[in-house]
Structure 1
Amino acid sequence: MGAEDAARTARAGAARRPMRGRDPGEAHRAATPLELLFDLTFVVAVSQAAAQLHHALAEGRTGPGLFGYAAVFFAIWWAWMNFTWFASAYDTDDVPYRLLTLLQMAGVLVLAAGVPGAFQHGDWALVVAGYVIMRAAMVAQWLRAAAADPAGRRGALRYAAGVALVQAGWVARLWVFGGWAAATFVVLVAAELAVPAWAEFRGSVTRWHPGHIAERYGLFTIIVLGEVILGSVTAIQSAVTDRGLSTPVLLIAVGGLLLVFALWWLYFTGREVRLTTLRTALAWGYGHYVVFAALAALGAGLEAALDVAEHHAHLSELSAGLTVAVPVAVVLLLLGALHRMTDAAAVGLWPLLAGAAAVLALGFGAPLLGPGGAVLGMGVAVAATLAAGLLAGRRAPAG
């Protein structure tokens, strides 16, 4: 009974806890069940974006498909990132906090429902509606923090004002057409990226937890890799059901699995990510847009390669090879830069550069090797990059 009473008292205290900044040095800080549920709703949005990219690639609409994918994925990633950093500083887990977070989840699902229309017809209304729901809830969270936390009030008010102003710009953009649509998109993305730097300027730094942030990014990486596996398995299952297990399908399955496993290992080096300054944290956090988007695009690329191998796509073998090779090379190069930036590098830069070059060469060699042979070669090349980096790290003198 004593333990139960203590737990009940703790929950009651949490329900009445003001939204003060949490201790950035708090021990054993980990992702909460609410944060994990929040991430799961983003699986739907990421899956929709990757599926639409796959369809665009298979139909030969590479340029429009990549632009739509980059735009949609930015909305997904930016909403996730904003909540993640806010929660790291102000997660009180009380009733208003939970309700506003659940509202953001609803917004994610609305955005996901609008992804096909945005890709196929250029209709961004539902995507923007979902984004409005998420961002309005985020503004409310920041206003709560401003009211309850005098130390962080200035920064919280800046965040609320910046988010609201840029969100109004996204709504106004629905009535912009022609060449101005692309120009206003770039301007609004730049404005979104500038809000955190402005809000944190001159002593208004939010008290986020470095270890918690690193864990949250790692968990989202796992979610994206899981989506890659799910999409690939579904495509392989469909191919096997239609025509049996052919050699190209088997090679793509093995190569894709090697890619996922090796990229996971390269991301999770076992070394602590050190986010020691705001500049480092912003660069590391922003750089993950490319990492997440490229990993999800890898799944679309593997599915497109399967379509080409089964003669179901309006795509050349060269294009099929590059749809896998380019995302993998981008991830390798970005991981090298991000890990060196945060002292988490377990694999040297030169092995990663060599691995990226080998993967791109295999992508260009797809007409000769076939999609299956090219993808298998890429999987072996990335696995060899990992092995070479780990061996070099073991041989390096300590200290």
Structure 2
Amino acid sequence: MSVVGVWVRRMQGRDPGEQHRASTPLELLFDLCFVVAVAQASGQLHHGLAEGHPSVILGYAMVFFAIWWAWMNFTWFASAYDTDDVLYRLLTLVQIAGGLVLAAGVPRAFEHYDFTVITIGYVVMRVALVAQWLRAARQDPAGRAAALRYAVGIVVVQIGWLLRLLLPGDAAYVGFAVLVVAELAVPVWAEARGRRTSWHPGHINERYGLFTLIVLGECVSASTLAVQGATTRHGLSTGLLVTAAGGLVLLFAMWWSYFKHEATAALRVSQFTNMLWGYAHYVIFAAVAAVGAGLSVVAAGSDIPPAATAATVAVPVVGYLLVSGLLHARMRPGSVQLIPLLVAAALILLTAGGAGVLGVPAAILVIGLLVAALVGLGVVTANRTATRT
């Protein structure tokens, strides 16, 4: 791709079999700006959990859906129609600006369940994305029907988000749930018949992997700042060192467990598999970011019971392991051993429940070692299978 860019290229679906298709600098900038919103959501979750407010989990789930869905919409469109000309870049930069507005609205969404600023950010992003889809419909006759369905679906649902701001009390929560279903249904409807969008399986696999790395990096940053703050306030202690060691082992093991599987080939199999891959990553991304929030709660300390403190780490870890494990088992049958996965998940929850006896730092270390042991078992099994083959 040209660094300077040309004014306008014809927007046609890119070749799904294109060799050496990699993420562009613009896509990486998009990810880095979106991780600002992820950090905001993770930080708000940390504060809510540390203060003993479990209701913050609902706000986190709602806000993270907004972040994830905006990222996902751009990612799949760019995989199919990235022309990298000036018009495409400008419209993408508008989407990034909308994402930063969304990030600015995260604290208010958590504190007052006021999604006005987030919705304004969505409007900015959606206007730019609809313009991209309409451009694709005009210039790519083969993909016109799907592109128009995307554009219409996005506009209709976005109007719904604006109208939701007028709903009072519990009706706003019901409206949110209805609109989430509508959002998830748009790609299913748009890709249901005719020529499907020509996204690139290898590129999509890389994009999801890179965003996973960025969210893991945000976890490392949040945990490090929490340890640093605790050290400044109370000095270095054995418990803090054990917590840091356990958190580091845990994050390393989570990275290994995600990247030991390759999904590119499976993404060529069926539309259902593709949708499952895309949608399941809501839980994966949200769980990884929540682990960072939990580690921050543990490192900084809180007044909630030890079992609840350890659960701020254990619960998202179990969610991450189960969803990513079952997803990879679907994508590549035989690649994941389900019984060890379920046993590890149960032991992690039991460890959190016993944090009052073990101590929270020791519980975090045990959780990290359990995930590492699960990864190690998978590596040994894979190597034995490869050797026999």
Q: TM-score, normalised to structure 1's length?
A: 0.94
- Per the alignment, residue 363 of structure 1 pairs with 352
- Per the alignment, residue 49 of structure 1 pairs with 41
CA contact (8 A) 1:108 1:134 kept: yes
CA contact (8 A) 1:269 1:345 kept: no
- Per the alignment, residue 388 of structure 2 pairs with 398
Alignment of 1:143-158 (within 5 A): 143-158=134-149
Note the C-alpha offset of 1:157.
0.5
- Per the alignment, residue 51 of structure 2 pairs with 59
Measured against aligned partners, the alpha-carbon deviations of 1:347-379 in whole angstroms (never above 9, x if no partner) come to 422222222122111111111111101000001
- Secondary structure of the residue aligned to 1:48 is helix
Matched, 1:280 2:273: yes
Q: Distance in 1 between matches of 2:33 and 2:263?
A: 28
- Secondary structure of the residue aligned to 1:388 is helix
Alignment of 1:168-317 (within 5 A): 168-269=159-260, 271-273=262-264, 274-275=266-267, 276-308=269-301, 313-317=302-306
135-144 or 208-217: bigger deviation:
135-144
Which amino acid is 1:34 matched to? L
Which amino acid is 2:376 matched to? A
Note the C-alpha offset of 1:307.
3.1
Q: Distance in 2 between matches of 1:370 and 1:167?
A: 48
Matched, 1:28 2:20: yes
Q: Distance in 2 between matches of 1:174 and 1:193?
A: 20
Alignment of 1:301-340 (within 5 A): 301-308=294-301, 313-340=302-329
CA contact (8 A) 1:271 1:344 kept: no
- Secondary structure of the residue aligned to 1:77 is helix
Q: 2:363 aligns with which of 374, 377, 383?
A: 374
Structure 1 residue ranges without an equivalent (≥5): 1-6
Matched, 1:165 2:156: yes
CA contact (8 A) 1:256 1:376 kept: yes
- Secondary structure of the residue aligned to 2:388 is coil
Which amino acid is 2:116 matched to? A
Q: Distance in 2 between matches of 1:271 and 1:38?
A: 24
Which amino acid is 2:152 matched to? A
Which amino acid is 2:289 matched to? A
Q: Distance in 2 between matches of 1:46 and 1:344?
A: 32
Note the C-alpha offset of 1:247.
1.5
Which amino acid is 1:60 matched to? G
Q: Distance in 1 between matches of 2:32 and 2:236?
A: 32
Q: Distance in 2 between matches of 1:174 and 1:251?
A: 46
Measured against aligned partners, the alpha-carbon deviations of 1:42-67 in whole angstroms (never above 9, x if no partner) come to 1100000000001110111112x011
Alignment of 1:85-96 (within 5 A): 85-96=76-87
CA contact (8 A) 1:336 1:345 kept: no
383-392 or 272-281: bigger deviation:
272-281
Note the C-alpha offset of 1:127.
1.0
CA contact (8 A) 1:145 1:156 kept: yes
Q: 2:89 aligns with which of 94, 98, 123?
A: 98
Q: Distance in 2 between matches of 1:187 and 1:43?
A: 26
- Per the alignment, residue 3 of structure 1 pairs with none
- Secondary structure of the residue aligned to 1:62 is coil
- Secondary structure of the residue aligned to 2:196 is coil
Q: Distance in 2 between matches of 1:333 and 1:352?
A: 7
Q: Distance in 2 between matches of 1:114 and 1:81?
A: 19
Q: Distance in 2 between matches of 1:358 and 1:34?
A: 42
- Secondary structure of the residue aligned to 2:192 is coil
CA contact (8 A) 1:41 1:105 kept: yes
Which amino acid is 1:170 matched to? W
CA contact (8 A) 2:288 2:316 kept: yes
Note the C-alpha offset of 1:344.
7.8
Structure 2 residue ranges without an equivalent (≥5): none
RMSD (Å), alpha carbons: 1.6
Q: Distance in 2 between matches of 1:52 and 1:211?
A: 34
- Secondary structure of the residue aligned to 2:194 is coil
Number of equivalent positions:
386
Q: 2:330 aligns with which of 334, 341, 356?
A: 341
Note the C-alpha offset of 1:270.
5.0
Note the C-alpha offset of 1:128.
0.9
Measured against aligned partners, the alpha-carbon deviations of 1:153-209 in whole angstroms (never above 9, x if no partner) come to 000000000001101111111111122111111000000000000001112310000
Alignment of 1:116-155 (within 5 A): 116-155=107-146
131-140 or 68-77: bigger deviation:
131-140
